[in-house]
Amino acid sequence: MPPRIAPSILSADFAALGAAVDQVAGEADMLHVDVMDGHFVPNLTIGPPVVASLRRHTSLYLDCHLMIDEPARYLEAFRDAGADGCSVHVEVGGTANLIRQMRDLGLDVGLAVNPETSFDVFEPWLDQVDLLLLMTVHAGFGGQAFMDEVMPKVRQARDALDRQGLRPALQVDGGIGEKTAGVAAAAGADLFVAGSAIFGAADPADAARRIRAAAARS
Ligand code: DX5
Ligand code: ZN
């Protein structure tokens, strides 16, 4: 798969979200929406009302990353708000039921994995997901440093997917910029979430373009 870019609006100006989306729309394959509940991660962000506002503003695919303890309670609200896909964390448990619920709701199914969680924990679900999100920072905040130590797991996931002929997106999230996108692409990632490297740049569209080009070179 050619590399795809998912700007994370977490690093955008929430008072001017529409304008931020417009800035990157031409270079974005999807928008990454980071949902945090103050329990699963020590930070609070946004929920379905913001997704609904984004939905009215853009036709871009809305990729909702649910860093929350009880995703089952909210999946329908995200679907109704206009989410295209949701990623739930494997660490919250109940993965089989959550996958079934997302399918029943017509959501694309994403499974997110924290840096410390090993391959064996998510391996059973590889053939049931549309997107596998391997965190390359500790979930909770934008602007952290990329964790190189996750790369062997990205490689392990890529090899397993290839061996089984499976084609979910292999997404990396956290600390992605030009340099680290190349590192993650070399390990097998094909979908790159970037927040601060895009929205912290003077020209967000150009930053996204450069990240894509760096991933494509690897
Ligand atoms: C962190 C979020 C990320 C975050 C990435 O918990 O899941 O999506 O926005 O931000 P950067 O690209 O700044 O590391
Ligand atoms: Zn995220």
Compute the distance from residue 193 Cα to the ligand 2 centre, in Å: 7
Residue 179 is given by DSSP the state H
CA angle, 148 as apex, 26 and 122 as ends, to 5°?
85
Cα separation of 142 and 11, whole Å?
Answer: 7
Active site residue 173: yes
Please list the ranges in the chain whose pLDDT falls under 50: none
Distances (CA, A) of 31 to 6, 25, 53, 65, 69: 5, 9, 13, 10, 22
Residue 188 is given by DSSP the state T
Compute the distance from residue 119 Cα to the ligand 2 centre, in Å: 19
Per-residue pLDDT at 1 = 77
Please give the number of the atom of ligand 1 that sits closest to the Cα of 200: 13
Per-residue pLDDT at 22 = 98
43 alpha carbon, closest ligand? 1
- Among 34, 84, 108, 190, the active-site one is 34
**Cβ-proximal residues to 189 (8 Å cutoff; 6+ apart), any chain:** 134, 154, 158, 170, 171, 172, 215
Cross-strand bridge partners of residue 66: 35, 88
Neighbours of 195 (CB within 10 A): 24
Active site residue 108: no
